Amino acid sequence: MLHNFNAGPSVLPPAVFQQASEAVLNYNNSGLSILEIGHRTPEFTAIMEEAASLVKELMQLSSDHEVLFLHGGASTQFMQVPMNLLDSKETAAYADTGVWSSKAIKEAQLFGKVDVVCTGKETNYQYIPKDFAVPNDARYFHITTNNTIFGTQWKKIPATSNVMVADMSSDIFSRMLDFSSFGLIYAGAQKNLGPAGVSLIIVNKNILGKTKRIIPTIMDYRHHIKEGSMLNTPPVFAVYVCLLTLRWLKEQGGIPEMEKRNEIKASLLYHAIDESNLFQTTVSKEDRSFMNVCFTLKDAALEKPFLEYAKNNGIIGIKGHRLSGGFRASLYNALPLESVQVLTGLMKSFEELSA
C-alpha cells in the first residue's frame, strides 16, 4: 500500500477516485462520459448548484456569501482580488508569512498601495508574526491561513475591523472557522477539495462594486456570480470531482470531524519528531501547521538514506520544498491516520537502525 503525503495535487478519498472514474466512462447511467456533456445541460447545472450549496452548508456561510468555482488556480486570485477590491490610490494590508503571501503582495502592488504589516521573512518564515497593527483605513487585510511550504498556520484569525481576505488553499475544509466573518476566501482545489484546474472563491457580495476601476468581464466577480460560475465554460470535470469530495466530507461528519482527525494525525507526527534524537522541526511550536508538517534530520547526511528507506516502504511525497529543504508531510483530509502511523513507525525504526 502507498501512503501519499504529496503537497498538492494530493490524496483524495478512494471513493472519490472510484466515482470519478466511473463518471468518465458513463455518467449516472446516461451512456455519456462526464467529459462530453455540455456545461449548460441540466446534468451539469445540477452538479454546479449542489457543489455550491454544499460549500455553503459545510462552511455555515451567511446568505451574503456567494460561492464560485473558477479557472486559473489560486495564483489568479493574487491579482483578481486587488483588481476587484482595491482602487489605485487605496491601501490594502498584507501579512507576509511565506512564498505564497509574497506572491500575493507582488500582484497587489500592481493595483494599489500595499502595506506589509508584518513579515516572518527574517527567520525564513518559521513563525506567524503576532505583534502588528492593521491601519483602519486599509481596504482589506490579506492573510495566507496555512503556509504550505514552511509549515506554519494562523491558529487564531486576527481580529481587525478590516475586511478579511484569506488564501486558504492548503487548509480549507480542514478546521472550523467563522467563515462568514471573511469578506473573501479563495483556494486552489488541489489539496483538500479536488483535482487541479479549479479554484473555490467565497465572497461577501457587499464588498464588491466599490472600486472605480474598469474590470475586464472575465475578471469581475459580479459577472461570475450573476452567471452562477458559468460565464464561460467551467472546468466541468474538476468541479464534478470537487462535488464528490464535498459529498464525502459531509458523509464523514463535515468540517468538525475533519478537524478532529487532522489534529490527531498532526499531533502524532509532531510528537514523533519531538521525541526523536534524529529528527527536528524549527517551526515555532504554537504556529505548527496541521496540514503540512515540515521537519529535518539533525544530520543532513542522513536525509537521502531516510528518503530512500521511506520510499522503499511505500511513502510518497515527503521531500521538502526546495526553499525549506528537509521533509514535508502533507496531512490533508483524505490522508488516513494509518499513513501517519506508518511514517512515524519508519522514523522510529530508521533511528534504531542508525544507532
Q: Contact residues for ligand PMP (CB under 6 A)?
A: 8, 73-75, 100, 144, 148, 167, 169-170, 188
Q: Closest approach of Cβ 10 to ligand PMP, in Å?
A: 10
Determine what percent of the chain falls in helix, strand and coil, rounding each to the nearest 5: 40, 15, 40
- The catalytic position among 96, 100, 171, 220 is 100
Per the CB < 8 A criterion, the answer to whether 289 and 331 are in contact is: no
Q: Closest approach of Cβ 74 to ligand PMP, in Å?
A: 3
Between 190 and 211, name the residue whose CB sits nearer to ligand PMP.
190
Between 112 and 235, name the residue whose CB sits nearer to ligand PMP.
235
Q: Closest approach of Cβ 224 to ligand PMP, in Å?
A: 17
Whose cell is 464561460? That residue is 232
- In angstroms, how far apart are the furthest CA atoms of the chain? 66
Between 218 and 337, name the residue whose CB sits nearer to ligand PMP.
218
Q: Closest approach of Cβ 26 to ligand PMP, in Å?
A: 30
User: Which among 204, 215, 183 has a CA at the least distance from the CA of 64?
Assistant: 204
Which residues, at least 6 apart from 256, have a Cβ–Cβ distance to it below 8 Å? 176
Q: Closest approach of Cβ 7 to ligand PMP, in Å?
A: 6
Q: Closest approach of Cβ 69 to ligand PMP, in Å?
A: 13
Annotation marks residue 100 as catalytic:
yes
Between 331 and 347, name the residue whose CB sits nearer to ligand PMP.
331
Annotation marks residue 191 as catalytic:
yes
Between 47 and 104, name the residue whose CB sits nearer to ligand PMP.
104
- The catalytic position among 96, 154, 191, 287 is 191
At residue 354, the 3 state secondary structure works out as helix
Grid coordinates standing for 3? Answer: 501512503
User: Which among 42, 45, 21 has a CA at the least distance from the CA of 33?
Assistant: 21
Cβ-defined contacts of 247-253 (< 8 Å, 24+): 247/54, 248/13, 248/15, 248/16, 249/54, 249/58, 249/173, 249/333, 250/54, 250/57, 250/58
At residue 53, the 3 state secondary structure works out as helix
At residue 214, the 3 state secondary structure works out as coil
Grid coordinates standing for 89? Answer: 490610490
Annotation marks residue 167 as catalytic:
yes
In whole angstroms, how far apart are CA 249 and each of 13, 58, 224, 313?
9, 8, 26, 29
User: Which among 294, 315, 341, 297 has a CA at the least distance from the CA of 5?
Assistant: 315
Between 98 and 306, name the residue whose CB sits nearer to ligand PMP.
98
Active site residues: 100, 167, 191
